[in-house]
Structure 1
């Protein structure tokens, strides 16, 4: 009897296609799949019309390495570390209820993972249509936290609820958070998708005591880069908002995919309750369109999008245009306003190789200081 093992090496030599089959994992006879993942990005940024604020740069953007184990319909677990920023990313274990209870009541996950507020923020950083996330997503999205969540995914809807406590694996962001996300997908088939959703969360930050015994009261800071990843100077920044009792985040999201065309948009806001002061409000939104010139469609599964998978030996070519805006001015806090137009092109050479180019035209105003940089970016990416 032939062993029930599936690897790329099992295929006959004349059927092997390096564009789609990379032997990065091993499937055992019982269906247990063990492997490793890699995401490497090298970026080039060029700036003009920036009043000398930014310096041209080219270097690694991400060097992520991970390992996983999974068994379809039963469980999955992963550990990922970014050696470029020296930070932990996803570190979690998830179990499917059907394997334990005999019926599908969703999946339970524990560990360090992304919170469910923010559509674009929950898209893999290797599968985004643009090189960097939009302004409101950078400022308002809560990113990863330690905790647990439950998700129920169906063809026409999804629901996700999470509770997080203990900050992150870098030792920051102490406090607790509850969050939820729901979406309706009346159209959900390959190449034809309509996704309408919303999300809510409340985070209660905690103060910290440093090594010298100095107490830092709980605070919240909202800020964003001008959609370029190799810089640190931000054009809009609320500064530390103290003393923060809690921050409420809200989001509305929409996605339509019709063959090679797609439109995605999202609105996000945050209300920070401050002790002894009026609450601080921040808000922003983005919208973008995508056209895959070679005819493929953007991927969609379980409430999220994925890269275009090329059908031609020459790959797939996608053109994208995005507008994003963020307002961090409220009351006495003058965090500034910024709006960005981004024009981009993505060349998916294979399932694993992608080249990206973005041109960003940013317009900002903070405390009557106006800086309007023009940014040209390129990226080469390997991901599996």
Structure 2
């Protein structure tokens, strides 16, 4: 699986050399496109840059400890790569990430392969994929982070994804899709952007069905599951569940189980989403179980519920290839023509409970609201307000926050 990118680099020049048609350069939207061999090889540069800023307040310090969420600025994503097709039926993506972790400075040692995959899509109903990629597991992770309703996915979804899926996961699998039905199934390994977990082994899948599809009402029902049967951290096999307060400006993660020696872990849960007129509703629940080596099997759980409504533009549309609700087609910013892009208002309540028995990872609840503006298809500006509460064994931690993001995706 990890040789997919290398195999691709070998295939590209071999394919190009076999053609005699002159290369052409064109523009596809905002992206320049190089076409070789009359279309047998297509190369497009890809760029993603997210700059976040914000502040936290209303954080009591009645325990006398300086553990507080810090505000400031953070390069949330800085990625550069190349994508395209080979022999028309093979798609590929090779992307490197350059962003530092929250609270850290850029370091060349932290540059990792973000995506390095190749997929066969020559059949109309299935795509086969291998390499390092983001599996289409859970509703929130099946969609692009450029199109999520909030700056960050709900904490319980990030935690569940850490079991066997999430960003930059080495794996191989198949994604089946029709107008109404969707299924994705993978065998997974470690994460390309994390050291010392290359020995992980897992399985994951998601199914969804568009149960109602009328002009006014659409309803998508489904569920996801993942299972890590071989933890891959160095030394003794451990599993650690944790997340930020749905805003990555501070390195502090109070929602944190600590490292648990474990033999396996699993996550499973249903999803429900759809549209009523222009209103989008979306929710997921996840139940996570860790099989610890001491014989105990703590169970953690959480969910989120969200609503979104377009203030400018049409309702989000259903993408059957990923079973997600993506942005509608819209006229880009042109005030002279009365075009203002796409603007939506969203609200979400989320809960992630990492308490069970001797494991005291905390219970985080957050209510938030966000305003997302896409003046152009490749540009997003977001502002988000949150009110959160983290219940701990010690003094609880409440907070309020405001986050802003400027995002470019080419």
Residue in structure 1 matched with residue 6 of structure 2 by the alignment: none
Structure 1 residues 314-343: Cα deviation after superposition (integer angstroms, max 9, x where no partner): 212110000000110001111111100011
Question: Does residue 241 of the first structure (1) align with residue 260 of the second (2)?
Answer: yes
Deviation, structure 1 residue 183: 0.7
Instruction: Note the alpha carbon deviations across 1:284-308, whole angstroms, 9 max, x for none.
Output: 0001000001232224312123334
Does structure 1 residue 158 correspond to structure 2 residue 182? yes
- 2:115 maps to 90
Q: Residues 170 and 365 from structure 1, CA distance in 2 versus in 1: closer, same or farther, beyond 3 angstroms?
A: closer
| CA 1:166–1:55: 2 relative to 1, 3 Å | closer
For residues 207 and 81 of structure 1, do their structure 2 counterparts lie closer, same or farther at Cα, with a shift above 3 Å needed? Answer: closer
Change (3 A) 1:360 1:93: same
Segment of structure 1 superposing worse, 360-369 or 290-299: 290-299
- SS of 1:138 mapped into structure 2: helix
Match status 1:48 vs 2:57? yes
1:263-282 pair list within 5 angstroms: 263-282=281-300
- Helix, strand or coil at the partner of 1:130: coil
| Superposition CA RMSD, Å | 2.4
Provide the rounded CA distance (Å) in 1 between the counterparts of 2:49 and 2:156.
25
Match of residue 109, structure 1, among 121, 125, 129: 129
TM-score (norm 1): 0.86
Q: How many Å separate the matches in 1 of 2:382 and 2:366?
A: 18
2:156 match: 136
**What SS class does the counterpart of residue 289 from structure 1 fall into?**
strand
Any idea what the Cα deviations from partners look like across 1:39-93, whole Å, max 9, x if unmatched? Answer: 1111111110123612220232211112112169611010111111333222100
CA distance in structure 2 between the aligned counterparts of 1:186 and 1:367, rounded to whole angstroms: 43
CA displacement 1:12-32 (0-9 Å, x = unmatched): xxxxxxxxx324323453364
Preserved CA contact (<8 Å) 1:190 1:300: no
In structure 1, C-alpha distance between the alignment counterparts of 2:35 and 2:216, rounded to whole Å: 29
Q: Following the alignment from structure 1 to structure 2, what is the Cα–Cα distance between the partners of residues 27 and 254?
A: 41
Distance 1:72 1:345 in 2: 41
**Contact map agreement 1:254 1:264 (CA 8 A) in 2:** yes
Partner Cα separation in structure 1 for residue 25 and residue 174 of structure 2 = 31
TM-score by length of 2: 0.81
Question: Counterparts of 2:216 and 2:140 in 1: how far apart (Å)?
Answer: 19
Equivalent position of 2:306 in the other structure: 288
The answer to whether the aligner puts 1:255 opposite 2:273 as a matched pair is yes
Displacement of 1:207 in angstroms is 5.4
Q: Aligned to 1:141, what secondary structure does the other structure show?
A: helix
Q: 2-side partners of 1:89 and 1:192: how far apart?
A: 37
